[in-house]
């Protein structure tokens, strides 16, 4: 199938990076379409661990054009650092393009991110402090600086002066020191010189490629439940990590062939916000360590909990997944029987519908089904039949509850530790 959108089905960190890397061997383009370096995608290949924050995970394949698309907010320094560390481990990369319509993240966005979190007090979102929210605020307020302006020295200076004058009025209101323009111009002009060769109307090229029948993967960042409109507002990111997000920046809806929703065999979340199946205490600590559940971008310990099928089914509905990938199935080995949430008790009522009201969700008591667990090392399993019956049972339970087939099962962090159940549902 020519186009595949891959997204995190719940709150992010579902190991999309590994799957994009695996599937990119069959792709011509891999396109990121939302977020910035708040994302963290880990790929283990050729004896190295790669951590991608901005560059699409398919870049390790020489045949792939990796696109930082419109819809993204790009920190130039983070991009250049990431490119450098990636090249040190893998000198031959695919072609990289940056959309001229992507927005640039500046130091003042990070300052404002910290300031806004401080002002939220108890209600803080637990952002990644990368300036993502403030960069998107500028975009929506129509004062953001786009890549096409950034790489044009005259326009960059003029736009930055305009924006900084406004930002300084805001900082002054908070009693904070203002921003000096010249140091930013000096540092960022050097970045602009290095970025210029990558910047083009990449979204147009991707669209032409789609129409020419090329195989294109759209790589979502974060997870669908962090979507600005469909997620657990206000504990969300500032963009659209849903399948529809890819359409907002140039994938024509009628050209979407497959949509892969990636979920972990349990659930994780970073930052604040309701998490009905969250676990605590020693069991949670053991699971966090077994799954190495520490943020790729920030190193923060991730919150962990049982698989939330109510949230997953909601995500299936919103994103129209044509199949699911279940990752980190190996991590649950040796944990005894496992649980999956099949309903929420809110007040006196039990519902299987995910409420849009975050206040209701925070009162939801999970109703669990207990499933058979399993032991042993799963990393060598090449088909579902080779999995222990408990792990097979979990996959089948997910399929029955959501009504969506599971096309991929990940049983370890390496490329090879992947069971492909139905290639026809992928790319
Ligand atoms: P922001 O995207 O930095 O504004 O953070 C908003 C919320 O999204 C916070 O709860 C973050 O922890 C969460 N978040 C942002 N990016 C990711 C990600 O890549 N994985 C998981 N959570 C994320």
Contact yes or no for 129/110 (Cβ under 8 A):
yes
Report pLDDT for 200: 97
Q: Is 271 in the pocket of ligand 1 (CB under 6 A)?
A: yes
What is the pTM assigned to this prediction?
0.96
Checking if the pLDDT of 226 tops 80, the result is yes
Report pLDDT for 250: 87
Q: Which sequence positions are flagged as catalytic?
A: 13, 41
| Atom number in ligand 1 closest to CA 273 | 10
Q: Is 267 in the pocket of ligand 1 (CB under 6 A)?
A: no
Checking if the pLDDT of 1 tops 80, the result is no
Q: Is 135 in the pocket of ligand 1 (CB under 6 A)?
A: no
Q: Is 13 in the pocket of ligand 1 (CB under 6 A)?
A: yes
Q: Is 128 in the pocket of ligand 1 (CB under 6 A)?
A: yes
Mean pLDDT for the chain overall: 96
Which residue lies with its CA nearest to atom 19 of ligand 1?
Answer: 39
CA distance 365 to 39: 30
CA distance 20 to 12: 14
Model confidence at 249, pLDDT cuts 50, 70, 90, reads: confident
For residue 370, how far is its CA from the centre of ligand 1 (angstroms)?
30
CA distance 361 to 355: 6
With vertex at residue 273, the alpha carbon angle to CA 270 and CA 274, rounded to the nearest 5 degrees, is 110
Q: Is 73 in the pocket of ligand 1 (CB under 6 A)?
A: no
Q: Is 222 in the pocket of ligand 1 (CB under 6 A)?
A: yes
Q: What percent of the chain has pLDDT over 90?
A: 94
Q: Of 51, 53, 112, 128, which is best to mutate to test ligand 1, by the most ligand atoms within 8 angstroms of its C-beta?
A: 128
Decide: residue 380, CB within 10 A, 0-12 exposed, 13-18 middle, 19+ buried. exposed
Checking if the pLDDT of 291 tops 80, the result is yes
| Lowest-pLDDT choice from 23-27, 44-48, 149-153, 199-203 | 44-48
Model confidence at 134, pLDDT cuts 50, 70, 90, reads: very high
DSSP string, 159-193: HHHHHHHHHHHHHHHTTPPPPPHHHHHHHHHHHHH
What's the first-to-final CA gap in the chain, in angstroms? Answer: 5
Would you call the peptide bond into 353 cis, given omega within 30 degrees of 0 as the criterion?
Answer: no
Segment 70-94 shows an average pLDDT of 96
For residue 383, how far is its CA from the centre of ligand 1 (angstroms)?
33
Model confidence at 296, pLDDT cuts 50, 70, 90, reads: confident
For residue 38, how far is its CA from the centre of ligand 1 (angstroms)?
6
CA distance 410 to 399: 16
The answer for 339, left when phi > 0, alpha when psi is -120 to 50, beta otherwise, is beta
Instruction: List CB contacts of 103: < 8 A, sequence separation 6 or more.
Output: 72, 73, 74, 135, 136, 138, 139, 144, 145, 146, 147
Model confidence at 425, pLDDT cuts 50, 70, 90, reads: very high
Q: What percent of the chain has pLDDT over 70?
A: 100
Summarised one tens digit per residue, pLDDT across range 403-424 is 999 999 999 999 999 999 999 9
For residue 40, how far is its CA from the centre of ligand 1 (angstroms)?
10
CA-derived radius of gyration, the chain: 21
Model confidence at 81, pLDDT cuts 50, 70, 90, reads: very high
The helix/strand/coil state of 346 is strand
Read off the DSSP letter of residue 341.
E
For residue 222, how far is its CA from the centre of ligand 1 (angstroms)?
7
For residue 271, how far is its CA from the centre of ligand 1 (angstroms)?
7
Report pLDDT for 127: 94
Which residue lies with its CA nearest to atom 17 of ligand 1?
Answer: 222
Of residues 222 and 46, more confidence is placed in 222
Summarised one tens digit per residue, pLDDT across range 153-211 is 999 999 999 999 989 998 898 888 899 999 999 999 999 999 999 999 999 999 999 99
CA distance 91 to 242: 32
Report pLDDT for 297: 84
Report pLDDT for 46: 86
- Map out the domains of the chain with their CATH numbers: 3-100+201-258 (3.40.440.10), 103-196 (1.10.300.10), 264-425 (3.90.170.10)
């Amino acid at each position: 199938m020519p186009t595949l959108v891959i997204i995190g089905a719940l709150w992010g960190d579902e190991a999309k990076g590994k799957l994009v890397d695996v599937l990119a061997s069959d792709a011509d383009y891999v396109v990121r379409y939302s977020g910035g370096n708040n994302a963290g995608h880990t790929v283990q290949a050729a004896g190295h661990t790669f951590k991608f924050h901005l560059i699409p995970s398919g870049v390790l394949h020489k045949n792939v054009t990796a696109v930082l698309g419109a819809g993204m907010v790009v920190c130039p320094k983070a991009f250049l650092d990431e490119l450098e560390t990636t090249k040190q481990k893998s000198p031959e990369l695919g072609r990289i393009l940056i959309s001229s319509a992507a927005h640039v993240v500046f130091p003042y966005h990070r300052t404002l991110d910290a300031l806004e979190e401080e002002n939220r007090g108890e209600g803080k979102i637990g952002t990644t402090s990368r300036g993502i929210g403030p960069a998107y605020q500028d975009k929506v307020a129509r004062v953001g600086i786009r890549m096409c302006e950034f790489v044009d020295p005259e326009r960059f200076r003029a736009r930055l002066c305009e924006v900084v004058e406004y930002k300084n009025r805001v900082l002054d209101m908070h009693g904070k020191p203002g921003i000096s323009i010249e140091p930013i111009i000096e540092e960022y002009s050097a970045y602009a010189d290095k970025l210029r060769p990558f910047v083009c109307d990449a979204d147009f090229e991707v669209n032409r490629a789609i129409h020419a029948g090329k195989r294109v993967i759209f790589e979502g960042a974060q997870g669908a439940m962090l979507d600005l409109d469909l997620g657990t507002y206000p504990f969300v990111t500032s963009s659209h990590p849903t399948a529809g997000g890819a359409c907002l920046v140039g994938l024509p809806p009628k050209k979407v062939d497959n949509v892969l929703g990636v979920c972990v065999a349990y659930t994780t979340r970073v930052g604040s916000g309701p998490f009905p199946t969250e676990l605590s205490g020693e069991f949670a600590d053991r699971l966090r360590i077994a799954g190495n559940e520490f943020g790729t971008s920030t190193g923060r310990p991730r919150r962990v909990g049982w698989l939330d099928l109510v949230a997953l089914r909601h995500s299936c509905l919103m994103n129209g997944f044509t199949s699911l990938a279940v990752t980190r199935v190996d991590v649950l080995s040796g944990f005894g029987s496992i649980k999956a949430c099949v309903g929420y008790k809110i007040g006196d009522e039990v519902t299987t519908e995910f409420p849009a009201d975050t206040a209701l969700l925070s009162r939801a008591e999970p109703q669990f089904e207990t499933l058979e667990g399993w032991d042993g090392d799963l990393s060598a399993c090449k088909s579902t039949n080779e999995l222990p019956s408990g792990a097979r049972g979990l996959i089948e339970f997910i399929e029955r509850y959501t009504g969506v087939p599971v096309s991929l099962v990940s049983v370890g962090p390496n490329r090879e530790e992947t069971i492909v159940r139905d290639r026809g549902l992928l790319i």
